[in-house]
Chain A
Amino acid sequence: MITKKIQLVLMAILIAVPALMFSQAKITGLKIIENVYNRETGNDMQGDLTMSLINSRGDQRVRKIKQFVKDFGKMEKKIMFFVSPADVRNTSFMNWSYDEAGKDDDQWIYLPALKKVKRISSDSKSDYFMGSDFTYDDLGDRHPTDDTHKILREETVNGEDCYVVESVSKDEDYIYSRTVSRIIKDKWIGLKKEFYDEDEELLKTLTVKKYEKIKNYWTILSSEMHNVQKDHTTKMELANVKLDTGIPANKFTERMMKRGLK
């Protein structure tokens, strides 16, 4: 009798331990955020970005940008040409980001009035991009290892099964005390994200409005960032998206920053 009980316990252990191990190895918060960060987006991408800045009175200002991105293996190069408003037309911005954790991006800006390409510091990733509600980090450049991540739960959002992941910065002085993201399982798209300020108050919410599979890559086409404290909103829309067209490497050079969209 005792032998039978021992056999049952052993069997239970033999079944439960691997199952437990499997479930623990299945996925972690870090792995989910890494999957979002490393989501396949093609070897290169180009598109027209429209940012609409809407204030609490509903007044709207629109910024238009043509952008090109190319993966060079251990680094990614991005070049942006500002199309409007008129006073920033022909300004261009180039960013080289690196897979290597801790290595800062290299950034340059070309100001047509100065006719000069200037190297700028990429240290201020908490700066807002062109007066919008998106910081440079919010635009997707934040490395997963800069935060610690924890799965809070799983839930369904707009019919999509999502992981809910809380991310806390390793840098105590970071502008967000924490963020909470809803990541679509298997698509690795952050569908919704809440940003909490240093006082743990809700600061901003990001909502992805439209995403499509283009050439087998899930691509975000429309998103909206709402600053709930100041009642600002920034709508970000990407149109005329082309993936894997073989953008030449020399597109991402000082020569092209100066030449512009010619």
Chain B
Amino acid sequence: MRKLYFEISWVVFALFIFINGANGQSLDLSGYARNYTGMLLTGNNEYAIIQNTFNLNIEQSKDKVAFKANPYIYQYPNQEMEIGLREAYLDIYFNTVDLRIGKQQIIWGKADGVFITDIISPKDLSEFLLRDFDEIRMGITALKANYYLDDNTFEFVWAPYFSSTQMPGESSTWFPQLDFPVPPVFDYSQKEVAAALKNSEVFAKFSAITSAIDFEIMAGYMWDDDPTMHITKPINPQTHQLTGITVAPRHHRLGLAGGSFSSTLAGYVLRGEGAYYNGKYFNSEDPTLADGTVKKNYLHYLIGVDYTLWDIRLSSQFIQQTILNYDEPIKNDEYENTMTVLASKDFLRETLRLELFSYIGLNNSDALIRPKITYDLADGFELLLGANIFVGSEGRFGQYDHNDMVYTKIKYSF
């Protein structure tokens, strides 16, 4: 009941702000209303999602200060309404320094749709990677300080409180496939990271844009957003049979350093990004390990190219994840290779757009193929028809082979 009151108070607050803004105060209001309906192509053509969204950006700036709040509502006909604040922050502008304090999305790196140095804002994977990118990235409470020197930027981020990746619920069709001989019992008692100063995260970045090249160099001391699954498999000493499996998700500290670049060459945009992760945990089938995990250093990098051919915008990325000092029982492959491909073309004076985006898992021959067609019925009113086709039977994308779907999104932006 308390939660309901909280939600209602948010709606009333948002309406209050909206009405005040509409009455001529200098609040800048923008956002969208959207209907998103998806239907599975398998089984009984169940609805994969029916979601109504209201997203509001409330902003105001006065000379040296500004604020932004971004409340949102996801309403579903068959489940609880979700209300939240994607961002809520204050800005202070000095001559060469900007400060941003509060809940904010912080995006780093040059990769598209791949998270290598872009690890500050945790991900909302409630619907795997299908949501729009501004909806996948969750805001975190942080202090961000930027110092500018011409076209060079020094950025420092302190996140006092750790927020983890939002995973789909165990009953969700997007809950990851588990490879256990018997259904496991989950023990979430160690998952939370206590809200304490010693558990805060820090990140630093130097970036520059120049005529020849744009680049970023970054480092972070953080928590791994994705929990490691610590697995215990007690054996009955008399029968030597497995008595059950307990999975205890737990977050671990992680240090990383990396960078990215982007440059143009004869009409091509070349992009690269890489990071060295110091001390990342992986699951292993080594029977001598008490909890089925092992700590390794790890590399994650990408090279990409964007170009235009016959008025079709094309973009392709090759991504490799490498576990250093690899042990054979580790469940992940030593090298995991992925590609992304994007092709898009506009028609009718940029009111009609055809797009095809695909993730391709090279290790498991699996893929996620996402064709879509978007038409602007009027300025700010968009009709979208798309499909998510999962190919393969295992791997990051193939595990969702039964979740192929078509969907529509109808969106009014204001």
Contact = CB atoms under 8 A, between A and B. Distances in A.
Contacts of A104: 264
Nearest to A131: B350
B270 to A, nearest CB: 10
Nearest to B113: A114
A255 B380 contact: no
A86 B413 contact: yes
B168 to A, nearest CB: 23
The B contact surface, by secondary structure, is: strand
B308 A121 contact: yes
Interface stretch (B6-14, B146-154, B230-238, B397-405): B146-154
Contacts of A84: 379
Interface stretch (A26-34, A36-44, A122-130, A215-223): A122-130
B107 A114 contact: yes
28 contacts: A61-B378, A86-B32, A87-B382, A87-B411, A87-B413, A90-B30, A106-B264, A113-B133, A113-B134, A114-B133, A115-B105, A115-B106, A115-B134, A117-B209, A118-B110, A119-B264, A121-B267, A123-B264, A123-B266, A127-B311, A130-B350, A131-B349, A232-B349, A254-B151, A254-B153, A262-B61, A262-B66, A262-B91
B214 interface: yes
Contacts of B211: 96, 106
B134 A114 contact: yes
A84 B28 CA distance: 13
Contacts of B209: 108, 117, 119, 253-254
A237 B253 CA distance: 56
A232 B146 CA distance: 45
A128 B349 contact: yes
A181 to B, nearest CB: 25
Nearest to B214: A119
A250 B148 contact: yes
B264 A122 contact: yes
B414 interface: yes
A85 B380 contact: yes
Interface of A: 53, 55, 61-62, 84-87, 89-90, 96, 104, 106, 108, 113-124, 127-128, 130-132, 232, 250, 253-255, 259, 262
B107 A116 contact: yes
Interface string B373-414: 000101110100000000000000000000000000001011
Given A115-B105, A115-B134, A87 B151 contact: no
A106 B132 CA distance: 28
The 8 A-B residue pairs with the shortest CB-CB distance in the complex, in nearest-first order: A123-B267, A131-B350, A85-B379, A131-B349, A262-B61, A86-B413, A87-B413, A86-B380
Given A86-B379, A119-B263, A131-B350, A124 B107 contact: no
A106 B214 CA distance: 11
Contact of A113 (B132, B153, B306): B132
A248 to B, nearest CB: 10
Contacts of B150: 250, 253
Interface residues of B, number: 49
Interface in B55-102: 59, 61, 66, 91, 93, 98
B147 to A, nearest CB: 10
Interface string B219-258: 0000000000000000000000000000000000000000
A61 B306 CA distance: 30
A118 B262 CA distance: 8
Contacts of B47: none
Nearest to B107: A115
A62 B379 CA distance: 8
B191 to A, nearest CB: 28
Nearest to B213: A119
Nearest to B212: A106
Given A86-B413, A121-B264, A255-B98, 12 more contacts: A55-B349, A86-B380, A87-B32, A87-B413, A115-B106, A118-B262, A119-B209, A119-B263, A123-B264, A130-B350, A254-B151, A259-B98
Contacts of B151: 253-254
B214 A53 contact: no
Nearest to A250: B148
A253 B91 CA distance: 18
Contacts of B335: none
Contacts of A117: 209, 214
B351 interface: yes
Contacts of A113: 132-134
A219 B109 CA distance: 40
B346 A253 contact: no
B379 A124 contact: no
Contacts of B414: 86
Contacts of B346: 131
A214 B296 CA distance: 66
A106 B210 CA distance: 9
A86 B30 CA distance: 7
B186 interface: no
B269 interface: yes
Contacts of A120: 269, 306
B328 to A, nearest CB: 39
A87 B350 contact: no
A118 B107 CA distance: 12
B268 interface: yes
Nearest to B346: A131
A17 to B, nearest CB: 48
A255 B98 CA distance: 9
Contacts of B105: 115
A253 B148 contact: yes
Contacts of A250: 148, 150
Contacts of A53: 349
A198 to B, nearest CB: 15
A131 B349 CA distance: 4
A143 B197 CA distance: 58
Nearest to A112: B134
Nearest to A87: B413
Contacts of A130: 350
